[in-house]
């Protein structure tokens, strides 16, 4: 006999998203093209509803005989992922309309991707974990190739798919080894299993597979290509919602399933983290395409977040939430800024096209500047506290070398962040960008306000929420 | 606590003003950075002047409630902010004069820009006001994380000021300024995080009393020194300064020399000495050596400059060498002298940059060779220039003398050799300043363009004369300053012994 109450409490948001996705398929089949424009409001409603539900059942619970188990740590991540996913969806409507690809499939894929995010966050078992990850990934591959007439978009989709399949294979292989040597697929069971060599082998393979999903170096190679090739709103989605979810899943798997063998994986995660920071920072230096640059910047930022993971659950769990929340809000805003770069009816993506933005669109320029400085971790903007938390966690966890790499890569990355600021403020004004969608402007302004200013003033509140949420991990 | 939060009001008044200016400008013109100059831009400058003057009045009001007989922090405001990090501001005898210097120089900077800045004026005013908030925050912060935030935030508006309104090589100078300072600050951040975790608090008053083990002190001291030495700047990390000064607009140079450099000296006095006394003693010889090298070497470099602004920039490095000497003498005379020298240099160097700006606005060149015989066309200018030349050399009767003699007396008590080396700098400063003065002001007019150059106008006089008056006033009656700083200087030194 199924306990429906427990089910809803544990995975209410996912049930809601699954229902919304299936209903959307039906609506699409019945209304056909008439559903296209309407579907974006429908999708936003679904995602914001899911975000609300994750707050409603914030404490979480266990269902399906231990296949899913949620707590505040995971529900916090769900809330942020669904909310930024909703914003990413809203701001993509104008873009798709102009490119004649406004189709309800886009919305449905986003909903199913979000369902996957929710599933993998709720997972307390290797099976559900893999199902969630694949639901997210398969939807993402199609989204990346959504401009099917564009060679770049198709290439991005294919590249993402081939490499993603390889990573999934690794993950699956690792999972089977873990199952083979521990005799269980349940996280709790795995954590109490005898840490044999085979189990560790499986764990390493799983780290590789999960590392691909969060685009940590050296499994990062796909990121710049996919960010560049995928339609810009899809890039905005990839950089925000799944980033948050995957990062928290990575932390969750490490902290719960492999929590007792931290001494075994700490060094691996630390190396991945250091490599990501260095490759992200140096790789971005020579980029001229703003989407590629954001791709490398996301690799570096994943490296920063991994510092907190490597520091362990006690000091790192809260820091991961704080850092990633501030990061994904900033990343969403920056991608919205890229969406605003439109001239002569087409998108422009070269960084130089931002030249003199301060003269032509001052508020957009100021917001982007705040977002860039925030993502660079420069005070007085909110991003500073994201890095402060990670840094604190790193030092508390005794990871001094990582802290040093963090400092160095911050200085290096300032090199390219400052170049964008220079182009916006110092260069000769270029032609004005064409009319910008209201939703895009709103996203840029709102994220700059939230990431830049509100997170600074109310950082205590965010930190308290995050640390309260992280305490759910222990129980 | 309780009562009107006057310090917060002083710190945030410019920021609020900047937001109002931005809002009004974009409401009236649709966008606040349209290219049209003229009326609107004057209105923005005027608004900026009013706001910064109001800030000055507010800081004077704070000064009037300030009690010089209390050694510790006064007018303290403390609010919970973020975990153990609190929003805590207050003043003592060390920060009070520097706050007054900042609020005094900012309106002068804006006024000095009246005729020299014509593009993107609103943004210019906003940048200056935001910068003023950050500078005041640095001096008022009594929480080390809050201090760090203000300290590093100041880079952003200064980066924009150099990069937008600067000279030909402005981009290079802006990047160099930013990255040099940032690298130093991030090392300081590592130390701040460590101290925060070790002491469990970021309150400066707590940290002053917290005894860090000596070997830890060494590392923390070095991390802080990396930041302050770049900011001060000390030889050999001073190379960003001449570039930044030469490329920055006049007002930018004034604020850079007048206030931003003082943050380095302030940092040494506020953090390095009281919190890491053992390490400070350990590094005293090294600091003396660097100070003397700075004084002698950069004085000689200054002598060979052909660019007026560069010459004054190098002379700033030399004069900040005296500050280093005074701070690390660890006696009352030296520390008081160092604080006095910071204030005095804030007045004199600012005035010298304004004086260069006066002829630059007319001739659009800073080459010394392009000038000569200015006294024949600009007698008032020549007189004021003479006064500040003498003040920069350290002639008795000007504030420059008091600062140099006291830091040397302090240094002499700690190390005869260091003081002897520094004394050389006084001679060299006479060499390069008098050379500069002779070649620009005296002689025949060789450049035909100089024939119809006009003397200083009212705005320029209003900017420079107050600085001249204060330079003489503090030169004749230095006790006006010492009465304020005495308590703070003694407190820092007692913390070094007791802490």
**Confidence at residue B30, expressed as pLDDT on a 0 to 100 scale:** 52
**Confidence at residue A165, expressed as pLDDT on a 0 to 100 scale:** 93
**Confidence at residue B1, expressed as pLDDT on a 0 to 100 scale:** 43
**What are the residue ranges of helices labelled H in B235-378?**
240-247, 250-255, 261-267, 273-275, 277-303, 308-327, 332-363, 374-377
Residue of A376, A385, A388 to mutate for B, most B C-beta atoms under 10 A: A388
Show residues of chain A in contact with B200, CB under 8 Å. none
Residue of A83, A90, A85 whose CA lies nearest to A39: A90
Q: Are B52 and B107 in contact (CB under 8 A)?
A: yes
Interface of B with A in 31-70 (CB under 8 A): 31-33, 35
The H helix count followed by the E strand count for chain B is: 22, 2
- The predicted-structure confidence for B87-107, as pLDDT tens digits, reads as follows 888 888 889 999 999 999 999
Show residues of chain A in contact with B164, CB under 8 Å. 425-426
Highest-scoring range by mean pLDDT, A346-350, A377-381, A468-472: A377-381
Quote the CA–CA distance of A340 and A162 in Å, as a whole number.
31
Q: Are A390 and A406 in contact (CB under 8 A)?
A: yes
Distance from A330 to chain B by nearest Cα, in Å?
18
Q: Where are the beta strands (DSSP E) in B37-114?
A: 74-82, 85-91
Indicate the SS3 state at residue B72.
coil
Average pLDDT of B303-320? 90
ipTM of the complex: 0.85
- How does residue B354 score in pLDDT terms, banded at 50, 70 and 90? very high
Indicate whether B2 pLDDT > 60.
no
- How does residue A1 score in pLDDT terms, banded at 50, 70 and 90? low
- The predicted-structure confidence for B369-382, as pLDDT tens digits, reads as follows 888 888 888 888 88
- The predicted-structure confidence for A109-157, as pLDDT tens digits, reads as follows 999 999 999 999 999 999 999 999 999 999 999 999 988 888 888 999 9
Per the prediction, chain A carries an average pLDDT of 88
B148 and A379 within 8 Å at the Cβ level: the answer is yes
Render B351-396 in DSSP notation, one character per residue. HHHHHHHHHHHHHS--BGGG---HHHH-HHHHHHHHHHHHHHHT-T
For chain B, the straight-line distance linking the first and the last C-alpha, in angstroms and rounded, comes to: 26
Identify the residue whose tokens are 């009816």: A345
Q: Are B444 and B388 in contact (CB under 8 A)?
A: no
Quote the CA–CA distance of A457 and B87 in Å, as a whole number.
10
Burial pattern B238-271, b for ≥16 Cβ within 10 A else e, equals bebbbbbbbbbbbbbbbbbbbbbbbbbbbbbbbb
Quote the CA–CA distance of A460 and A466 in Å, as a whole number.
10
Identify the residue whose tokens are 């925000």: A240
Identify the residue whose tokens are 């003057």: B53
**Confidence at residue A94, expressed as pLDDT on a 0 to 100 scale:** 84
Could you give the maximum distance between any two Cα atoms of chain A, in Å? 70
**A67 phi and psi, to 5 degrees?**
-70, -35
Show residues of chain A in contact with B150, CB under 8 Å. 379-380
Q: Are B403 and B322 in contact (CB under 8 A)?
A: yes
Show residues of chain B in contact with A392, CB under 8 Å. 193, 196-197
Which residues have CB under 8 Å from B494's CB, separation 6+? none
**Confidence at residue A82, expressed as pLDDT on a 0 to 100 scale:** 94
pLDDT > 70: percent of chain A: 99
Residue of A329, A294, A315 whose CA lies nearest to A455: A329
Bond into B367 cis (ω within 30): no
Residue of A208, A228, A203, A197 whose CA lies nearest to A290: A228
Quote the CA–CA distance of A83 and A70 in Å, as a whole number.
18
Bond into A76 cis (ω within 30): no
Show residues of chain A in contact with B196, CB under 8 Å. 392
Quote the CA–CA distance of A295 and A225 in Å, as a whole number.
8
B479-498 vs B332-363: helix crossing angle, rounded to 10:
130
**What are the residue ranges of helices labelled H in A286-361?**
290-310, 313-339, 357-360
Indicate the SS3 state at residue A221.
coil
Question: Which of B33, B83, B145 has the CB atom closest to A358's CB atom?
Answer: B33
Higher pLDDT, A275 or A404: A275
Could you give the maximum distance between any two Cα atoms of chain B, in Å? 68
Q: Are B101 and B258 in contact (CB under 8 A)?
A: yes
- How does residue A337 score in pLDDT terms, banded at 50, 70 and 90? confident
Tokens of B120: 């993107």
- Residue B203: DSSP 8-state: B
Q: Compute CA B80 distance to the chain's CA centroid, rounded to the nearest angstrom.
A: 30
Task: Judge whether B163 is closer than 8 Å to chain A, CB to CB.
Answer: yes
Tokens of A217: 């170096």
Distance from A54 to chain B by nearest Cα, in Å?
26
- Residue B143: DSSP 8-state: B
Which residues have CB under 8 Å from B324's CB, separation 6+? B232, B234, B265, B268, B287, B290, B291, B294, B338
Q: Are B223 and B188 in contact (CB under 8 A)?
A: yes
Per the prediction, chain B carries an average pLDDT of 87
A346-347/A62-63 β-pairing: unpaired
Q: Please tell me which residue of chain A has the smallest CA distance to B148.
A: A379
How far is CA B100 from each of CA A338, B94, B419, rounded to the nearest angstrom?
Answer: 44, 11, 30
pTM for the full model?
0.89
Residue of A368, A370, A379 to mutate for B, most B C-beta atoms under 10 A: A379
**A377 phi and psi, to 5 degrees?**
80, 30
A373-382, B31-40, B347-356, B400-409: least confident range: B31-40
Q: Please tell me which residue of chain A has the smallest CA distance to B34.
A: A359
Tokens of B70: 């209390």
Q: Compute CA A161 distance to the chain's CA centroid, rounded to the nearest angstrom.
A: 18
**Confidence at residue B4, expressed as pLDDT on a 0 to 100 scale:** 81
Quote the CA–CA distance of B426 and B435 in Å, as a whole number.
14
**B287 phi and psi, to 5 degrees?**
-65, -40
- Residue A345: DSSP 8-state: T
- How does residue A44 score in pLDDT terms, banded at 50, 70 and 90? very high
Distance from B92 to chain A by nearest Cα, in Å?
24
Show residues of chain A in contact with B123, CB under 8 Å. 358
Tokens of B157: 């508006």
- Residue B141: DSSP 8-state: B
Q: Are A326 and A370 in contact (CB under 8 A)?
A: no
| Secondary element (H or E) of residue B305 | none
Quote the CA–CA distance of B319 and B298 in Å, as a whole number.
9
Task: Judge whether B26 is closer than 8 Å to chain A, CB to CB.
Answer: yes
Residue of B110, B386, B367 whose CA lies nearest to B249: B110
**Confidence at residue A280, expressed as pLDDT on a 0 to 100 scale:** 92
């Amino acid at each position: 006999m199924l306990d429906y109450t427990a089910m809803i409490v544990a995975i209410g948001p996912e049930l809601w998203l699954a229902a919304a996705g299936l209903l959307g398929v039906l609506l699409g089949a019945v209304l056909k093209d008439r559903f296209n424009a309407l579907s974006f409001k429908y999708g936003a409603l679904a995602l914001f509803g899911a975000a609300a539900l994750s707050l409603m059942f914030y404490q979480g619970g266990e269902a399906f005989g231990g296949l899913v188990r949620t707590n505040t740590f995971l529900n916090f991540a769900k809330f942020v992922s669904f909310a930024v996913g909703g914003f990413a969806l809203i701001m993509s409507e104008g873009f798709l309309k102009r490119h004649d690809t406004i189709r309800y499939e886009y919305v449905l894929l986003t909903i199913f991707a979000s369902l996957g995010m929710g599933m993998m966050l709720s997972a307390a078992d290797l099976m559900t974990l893999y199902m969630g990850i694949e639901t997210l990934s398969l939807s993402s591959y199609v989204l990346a190739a959504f401009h099917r007439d564009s060679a770049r978009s198709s290439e991005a989709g294919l590249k993402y798919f081939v490499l993603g399949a390889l990573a999934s294979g690794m993950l699956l292989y690792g999972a089977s080894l873990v199952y083979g040597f521990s005799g269980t697929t349940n996280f709790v069971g795995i954590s109490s299993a005898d840490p044999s060599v085979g189990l560790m082998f499986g764990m390493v393979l799983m780290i590789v597979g999960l590392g691909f999903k969060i685009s940590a170096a050296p499994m990062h190679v796909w990121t710049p290509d996919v960010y560049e090739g995928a339609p810009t709103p899809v890039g905005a989605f990839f950089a925000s919602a799944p980033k948050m979810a995957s990062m928290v899943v990575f932390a969750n798997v490490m902290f719960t399933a492999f929590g007792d063998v931290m001494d075994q994986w700490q060094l691996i995660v630390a190396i991945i983290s250091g490599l990501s920071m260095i490759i992200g920072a140096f790789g971005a230096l020579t980029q001229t395409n703003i989407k590629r640059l954001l791709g490398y910047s996301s690799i570096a930022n994943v490296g920063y977040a991994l510092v907190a993971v490597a520091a362990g659950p006690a000091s790192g769990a809260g820091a991961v939430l704080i850092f990633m929340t501030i990061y994904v809000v900033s990343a969403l805003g920056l991608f919205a800024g890229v969406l605003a770069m439109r001239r002569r009816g087409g998108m422009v993506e070269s960084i130089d096209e931002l030249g003199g933005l301060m003269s032509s669109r001052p508020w957009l320029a100021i917001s982007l500047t705040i977002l860039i400085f925030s993502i660079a971790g420069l005070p007085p903007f909110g991003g500073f506290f994201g890095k402060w938390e990670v840094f604190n966690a790193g030092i508390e966890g005794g990871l001094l070398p990582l802290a040093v790499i963090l400092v160095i890569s911050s200085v290096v990355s300032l090199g390219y962040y400052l170049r964008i600021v220079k182009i916006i403020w110092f260069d000769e004004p270029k032609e004005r960008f064409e009319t910008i969608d209201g939703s895009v402007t709103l996203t840029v302004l709102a994220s700059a306000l939230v990431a830049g200013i509100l997170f600074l003033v109310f950082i205590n509140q965010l930190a308290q929420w995050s640390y309260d949420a992280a305490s759910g991990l222990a129980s | 606590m309780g009562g009107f939060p006057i310090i917060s009001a002083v710190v945030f008044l410019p920021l609020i003003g900047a937001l109002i200016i931005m809002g009004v400008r974009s409401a009236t013109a649709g966008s606040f950075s349209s290219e049209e100059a003229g009326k609107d831009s004057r209105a923005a400058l005027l608004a900026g002047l009013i706001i910064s003057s109001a800030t000055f009045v507010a800081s004077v009001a704070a000064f009037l409630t300030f009690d010089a007989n209390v050694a510790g922090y006064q007018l303290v405001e403390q609010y919970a902010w973020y975990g153990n990090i609190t929003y805590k501001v207050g003043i003592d005898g060390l920060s009070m004069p520097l706050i007054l210097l900042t609020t005094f120089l900012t309106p002068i900077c804006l006024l000095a820009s009246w005729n020299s800045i014509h593009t993107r004026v609103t943004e210019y005013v906003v940048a200056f006001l935001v910068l003023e908030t950050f500078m005041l925050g640095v001096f008022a912060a009594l929480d080390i994380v809050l201090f760090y935030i203000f300290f590093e935030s100041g880079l952003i508006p200064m980066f924009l000021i150099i990069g937008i309104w600067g000279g030909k090589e402005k981009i290079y100078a802006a990047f160099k300024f930013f990255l040099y300072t940032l690298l130093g600050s991030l090392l300081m951040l590592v130390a701040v995080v460590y101290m925060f975790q070790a002491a469990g608090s970021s309150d400066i008053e707590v940290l002053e009393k917290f005894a860090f083990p000596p070997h830890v002190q060494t590392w923390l001291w070095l991390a802080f020194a990396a930041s302050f030495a770049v900011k001060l700047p000390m030889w050999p990390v001073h190379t960003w300064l001449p570039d930044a000064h030469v490329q920055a607009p006049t007002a930018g140079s004034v604020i850079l020399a007048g206030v931003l450099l003082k943050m380095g000296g302030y940092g040494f006095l506020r953090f390095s000495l009281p919190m890491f006394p053992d390490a400070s003693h350990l590094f005293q010889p090294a600091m003396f050596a660097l100070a003397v090298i700075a004084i002698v070497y950069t004085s000689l470099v200054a002598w060979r400059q052909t660019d007026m602004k560069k010459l004054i920039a190098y002379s700033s490095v030399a004069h900040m060498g005296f500050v280093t000497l005074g701070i690390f003498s660890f006696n009352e005379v030296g520390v008081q002298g160092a604080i006095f020298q910071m204030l005095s240099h804030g007045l004199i160097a600012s005035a010298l940059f304004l004086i260069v700006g006066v002829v630059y606005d007319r001739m659009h060149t800073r080459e010394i060779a392009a000038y000569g015989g200015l006294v024949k066309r600009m007698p008032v200018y020549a007189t004021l220039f003479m006064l500040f030349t003498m003040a920069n050399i350290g002639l008795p009767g000007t504030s420059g003398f008091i600062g140099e003699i006291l830091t040397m007396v302090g240094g002499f008590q700690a190390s005869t050799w260091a003081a002897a080396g520094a004394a050389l700098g006084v001679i060299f400063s006479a060499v390069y300043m008098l050379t500069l003065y002779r070649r620009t002001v005296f002689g025949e007019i060789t450049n035909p363009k100089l024939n119809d150059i006009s003397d200083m106008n009212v705005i320029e006089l209003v900017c420079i004369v107050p600085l001249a008056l204060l330079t003489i006033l503090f030169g004749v009656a230095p006790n006006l300053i010492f009465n304020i700083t005495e308590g703070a200087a003694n407190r820092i030194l007692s913390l070094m012994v007791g802490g």
